[in-house]
Amino acid sequence: LAQELGICCFSSFFVAFLIFLCKMFSLAPRSMRVASSAVGRVARRSIATKSGTWMDGPKAFETELVHAAVEPEPKSGAILTPLFLSTTFVQDSVETYLQKGFSYSRTNNPTTSALEKKLATLENGAGACAFGTGMAATTSAISATMKAGDHCVITDCSYGGTNRSCREFFTPMGMEFTFCDFRDIDNIRKAVKPNTKLIFSETPANPVLSLCDIEEISKVAKEIGAYHVVDSTFATPVICRPLDHGADMVIQSLTKYYEGHNIMTGGAVISKDKELADKVKWVQNVHGNIMNPFAAFMILQTSKTMGLRVKQQSATAMKIAQFLESHPKVTKVVYPGLASHPQKELADKYHRNGLHGGMLWFDIVGGSEAGTRLMNSIQRPWSLCENLGATESIITACAVMTHANMLKEDRLKVGITDGFIRVSCGIEDTDDLIKALGIALEQC
């Protein structure tokens, strides 16, 4: 009985103590109560977090470059997306066909699909398709939006392969193309026809580095019910995301800055909405030009450092452009970061964080012959070859390399002379690159 009375007394005392605490808390200042609640919530939230889970909220672009669409492999914990070198995928039954999402690698492959998801995230699109080359991406974007009898207004200065595909591949199929100077929006309006279904821009343009007003061109496209596709290879999403400025599709030659190491070729079309992304995906499946999984695996890795590389390449390009602009043997330098660029205001409008890319071009005293002599005498670390956006610095003779398939009169009209010198800055020491350029210039 004494023991039971003791328990009852303790229980009564404990209940009274709890009531006292509740009253004291209700009388405490509101700030103390809020702080106490906040501490409690933080404590509970801290206890609830778990290694391997993502924190709440959006992630910065630099973080997405590394982690977007990449999760540790469930069974082994491998930190990288596995390379699935498999043509076909076993189904559990006829009734559950495609339940796992994959059947045949011409349509979808887990590694390639991971890259496509990453591309859509980085470019802020609803969906992406990865192709074997940049030209496969370009022809697929046109095929997805045009048919016989349709018309396209396209920039008169683009990658040479784009120009040729329109003239020699699509035109014989009954499609029509009008090439015009996209620096003036009125030129585009004048070129529009009742059957215009596509407006194709490229900014910065390869190789002359002219710029397009993406928002204004997108407005024109919407007014006439056409699509606006932008080749943004020179900019990359590090510098500009055309889908954020009203464009419907963006083309990337993944061979360039995304891959960035002169190892793999690739291309991509990223679409603003799912309906358009599905159209491009259908074309990809019909053409059978999907990116192979090994290339996709490599680009999943190399793209992680794209932000770091583009920043370094942009800084190097600016210093080289300034060096060339002050050199007595150089007659013209074009780089979007220079105050002398005729569209500097447009460059500052669209290029984020003061970055203007790793591409520039210049002319020297003596014209085409002197330009050719410079390219023939340039020493390492420069390399005379095609491609751009890689870790290695490259000088390209566009007239005989990247733009040789343009009509000569069209090439000269936009300023691509026989001695046109295109420069792609890599990540080597800037002073070494400038020194080699100086030696070559002295011989011209």
161 with 138: CB under 8 angstroms?
A: yes
Q: Which residues contact 31 (CB under 8 A, 6 or more apart)?
A: none
**Average pLDDT along the chain, 444 residues, taken 10 residues at a time:** 43 49 47 48 64 94 97 95 98 97 98 98 98 98 98 94 95 98 98 98 96 98 98 98 98 98 98 98 98 98 98 98 97 96 98 98 91 94 96 92 82 82 97 98 93
Q: 85 is written with which tokens?
A: 């070198």
274 with 127: CB under 8 angstroms?
A: yes
353 with 240: CB under 8 angstroms?
A: no
Task: Report the candidate in 261, 237, 297 with the shortest Cα–Cα distance to residue 113.
Answer: 297
Q: Does 342 sit behind a cis peptide bond, omega within 30 degrees of 0 on the bond before it?
A: no
Provide the Cα torsion 174, 195, 230, 142; round to 10°. -30
Crossing angle of helices 430-442 and 367-377, rounded to 10°: 130
For the chain, how many residues are written?
A: 444
- At 196, phi and psi to the nearest 5? -70, 120
Using CB atoms within 10 Å of the CB of residue 245, give its burial: 0 to 12 exposed, 13 to 18 middle, 19+ buried: middle
User: Please, what's the b/e burial string for 219-241 (b: 16 or more CB within 10 A of its CB; e: otherwise)?
Assistant: ebbeeeebbbbbbbbbbbbbbbb
Provide the Cα torsion 140, 145, 146, 151; round to 10°. -120
DSSP 131-175: ESSHHHHHHHHHHHH--TT-EEEEESSS-HHHHHIIIIIIGGGT-
Report the C-alpha gap between 417 and 399 in whole angstroms: 7
